[in-house]
Chains A and B, each alone.
Chain A
Amino acid sequence: MGNIVLTRSRRRQIVHAISYAFLIIVGVTMLFPFFWMLITSVKSRYSDALNLNKLLPETVWQISANDIRDWTALFNKLESADRMEESSGLKTLWTAMGPNEQTKIISVVTRGTYGEEDKKVLVSGLNQVMINQVLWDNEEATAGLNPEERAVITNNGPLVKEQRVKINRMIIDALFPKEIQKAHSYHWRNYRTIFVEINFYRAILNSFFVTLMITVGQVFTSSLAAYAFARLNFFARDHIFLGYLATLMVPGTVTMIPVFIILRELGWIDTYYALIIPPLFSAYGTFMLRQFFLSLPRAIEEAAILDGCNAFRVYWHVILPLSKPGLSALAILTFIGSWRSFMWPLIVSHSDNMYTLPVALSLFQSFYEIEWTLLMAGSIIMIAPMLLVFIIGQRYFIEGIQLGGVNG
């Protein structure tokens, strides 16, 4: 008998262990794409496929030594790097404090016809004195040079290609020890870049404004109607309520075209009215809050009515304060629903100034097709507010779903 009990508890332990293993596997599957999004958003904008697929961002210096021919000419060029940024696509990517404080890493980016990028990383801030120092002080690094080569490089004389590559490589290796070359570099500036390059501020402001208006408005109109359905007796109440429920079945695409035409007649296309007013009236919200109001005890209300409160005061002073969980649940659902809403804003907004975040992001991704780092940064900005609202109001949110779901 004791043996059986032992087996049973042992079996439960095994089941729990398997359960945990399973939960962890699924959890990682769920989380990893988010991690990948975050880590990609801080990788260098000029990463190639190989660098994009490294787990952590690495500095992308492909030091192509054979491109450095003439140091003096290069230094002159680099001194005017700021001016060149506008003219020939030369961009300062990254400033590193190398062994020498003036050392800079810059990248020449030339865009090819098909968006292919040609990446070369050059070293600036060197001068002839430094090169000589490297050559002569670094016995180890320059061990492979013969006296003739040393003489040539100090005088900037002609070298055959192989020699040039060898010398440049040695200088770079000497100046940038391996540990510096491999240092991780988190390009948080990607987030700044997307704000500079597209009208992201406006899109974010639009999204917040529209979402807040819809949320407040929907909670208000839904709670009013829900109160009437839950507590008042009036003509054909149940029929009207059934009609409301039936409209939950109507696909959005059915009403989309006529509503667009109505707004067009009103001259509201490409205005905030078009973005805010049609989504204000929600049958779902009314249904959900009605269920919630029905679950409230009537005793307090009846006391208030006996004290001479009319329906509006009961609604405002009794029902609403008691319904904070239900109202919060609806507010959170509405906030997230309107924040992510895409099709409708896409249809009714036609100018930069009216785009909401999802529309701006979708345009952004059609223009910057392969700029994955910037796209991921934009996506994170889009997702972050929803996650924040969810984490703050998780309890209400889950309750809201169960309220709508179990009673449905």
Chain B
Amino acid sequence: MKREQDITAFVFLSPNIFGFLIFTLFPVLAALALSLFRWDIFNAPKFIGLQNYLDLLGWVFEDKSFQWIDPDFWKYLGNTIFYLLAIPLSMAASLFLAIILNQKLRCRIFFRTVFFLPTISASIGLLILWKYLYNGDYGLFNFLLSNIGIDGPGWLTDYHWAKPSIMMMMIWGSMGGVAMVIYLAGLQNIPRELYEAAELDGANGWNQFCHITWPMLAPTTFFIFVTSIIAGFQSGFDAAYILTQGGPAGATTTLDYYIYNHAFVYFNMGYASTIAVVLFFIVFCVTMINWRFGGRKVHYG
């Protein structure tokens, strides 16, 4: 009986497991192995031990000054982390919208749908739209600014504006999206009696938010935060590819885009794998840290 179930389960699992082994598990191991080689994909790979890691993470003292061997990597890691700053902003907006939508208002389904549109249509098409809106000569933003006498910057071509511009776009695209829908579900799970009791005690809206809504939503907030951070470390490729080609001067290159370039533009398969492994390690650590230190705050605020 037990054996029979094992066989049945194996048949059920086999299509998925087979694909999982070939396209996930083996590639992860292969990436680890590849990171020890120098390989341009056309010639035979050459084993170089940990040299890729030393090149990526190492530093030298030249003329008594500290220098990274690959300063680009650190810069792009910084860019990636900078983009993460959009997450709390976007989450705050999501929570705010969810609280407003959680009232007994007419048209709330309509507004929820409208707020979700940027999330649903996030794609190359939407990026091209933003490229147009941000364009220095043709774009809507600079046209509107010029009407009030401001000569707007080249939003995506100015070194200092490029990153904030992309962050603005990210917040626009995500504030009414998945986070808001999850927050709405979370809000609906909070017992109404808590608010009624608070009202009897004379607590105002802000107090109710601080002492009921926020603590009760802590697990939801935690979940959204962790998943957003993990996704955030792996994002930015599409935006960099379409909007800026990673520029100006690397201001908008993220790790994802850097890996793509090393792998499929310069054909440094080994080095690209090394960056990917380091990215994996970062994501892994963030997940662990979040679970370790976030775990306590989750249940009771």
Residues of chain A at the chain B interface (Cβ within 8 Å) = 15-16, 19-20, 22-23, 26-27, 29-31, 33-34, 36-37, 40, 49, 52-53, 220-222, 224-225, 227-228, 232-235, 237, 240, 244, 247, 249-262, 264, 277-278, 280-281, 283, 286, 310-312, 315, 336, 339-340, 342-343, 346-347, 358, 361-362, 365, 370, 372, 375-376, 378-383, 386-387, 390-391, 394, 398, 401-402, 405-406, 408
Contact = CB atoms under 8 A, between A and B. Distances in A.
A contacts with B: majority SS: helix
Interface in B85-139: 97, 100-101, 103, 105, 107, 111-118, 120-126, 128-133, 135, 137-138
Given A255-B28, A408-B227, A224 B16 contact: yes
Contact of B182 (A258, A386, A405): A405
B143 A36 contact: no
Given A232-B5, A342-B123, 12 more contacts: A26-B97, A36-B133, A40-B132, A49-B138, A52-B138, A237-B9, A250-B280, A257-B263, A262-B27, A311-B8, A343-B237, A390-B116
B62 interface: no
Contacts of A232: 5, 8-9, 12
B31 A254 contact: yes
Contact of A408 (B116, B223, B279, B284): B223
Contacts of A257: 27, 31, 34, 263, 269, 272-273, 276
**Which 8 pairs of residues, A with B, have the shortest CB-CB distance?**
A281-B19, A379-B125, A234-B9, A258-B30, A258-B27, A382-B125, A255-B27, A225-B16
Given A19-B105, A250-B280, A372 B132 contact: yes
Contacts of B223: 405, 408
B207 interface: no
A251 B283 contact: yes
Given A280-B19, A387-B120, A365 B276 contact: no
B23 A281 contact: yes
A23 B101 CA distance: 8
B26 interface: yes
A254 B117 contact: no
A286 B16 contact: yes
30 contacts: A23-B100, A23-B101, A23-B111, A26-B111, A33-B133, A232-B12, A251-B280, A253-B234, A253-B276, A254-B28, A254-B31, A255-B24, A255-B27, A257-B263, A261-B41, A262-B22, A278-B23, A280-B19, A283-B20, A315-B12, A342-B123, A347-B264, A361-B124, A362-B242, A375-B132, A376-B132, A382-B125, A386-B120, A401-B178, A408-B227
Contacts of B242: 362, 365
B51 to A, nearest CB: 18
B27 A254 contact: yes
B140 interface: yes
B209 interface: no
Contacts of B133: 33, 36
Nearest to A391: B113
Contacts of B203: none
Contacts of B24: 247, 250, 255, 281, 283
B129 A36 contact: yes
Contact of B5 (A233, A382, A406): A233
A37 B9 contact: no
Contacts of B13: 224-225, 228, 240
B230 A249 contact: yes
Nearest to B137: A49
Contacts of A227: 12
Contact of A311 (B12, B27, B118, B269): B12
Contacts of A37: 129
A293 to B, nearest CB: 12
A19 B143 contact: no
Interface range on chain B (Cβ under 8 Å from partner): 35 or more
Contacts of B20: 244, 247, 281, 283
Q: Specify which of B129, B223, B234 lies most central, judged by the most chain A CB atoms within 10 Å of its CB.
A: B129
B89 to A, nearest CB: 14
B259 to A, nearest CB: 5
A343 B123 CA distance: 11
Nearest to A48: B138
Contact of A340 (B122, B129, B182): B122
Given A26-B176, A340-B124, A382-B125, A228 B9 contact: yes
A235 B31 contact: no
B234 A252 contact: yes
Contacts of A19: 100, 103, 105
Given A343-B237, A365-B128, A379-B126, A251 B15 contact: no
Nearest to B226: A408
A196 to B, nearest CB: 19
Interface string B44-84: 00000000000000000000000000000000000000000
Nearest to A373: B132
Contacts of B115: 26-27, 30
B241 to A, nearest CB: 7
A53 to B, nearest CB: 4
A253 B260 contact: yes
Q: Specify which of A22, A37, A224, A405 lies most central, judged by the most chain B CB atoms within 10 Å of its CB.
A: A405
Contacts of A255: 23-24, 27-28, 31
B263 A256 contact: yes
Given A36-B140, A402-B182, A408-B223, A378 B9 contact: no
Interface in B251-282: 255-256, 259-260, 263-264, 269, 272-273, 276-277, 279-280
B233 interface: yes
Contacts of B280: 250-251, 254
Contacts of B277: 254
A406 B182 contact: yes
B208 interface: no
A1 B27 CA distance: 72
A45 to B, nearest CB: 13
B238 interface: yes
B201 interface: no
Nearest to A285: B16
Nearest to A50: B143
Contacts of B137: 49
Nearest to A336: B120
B247 interface: no
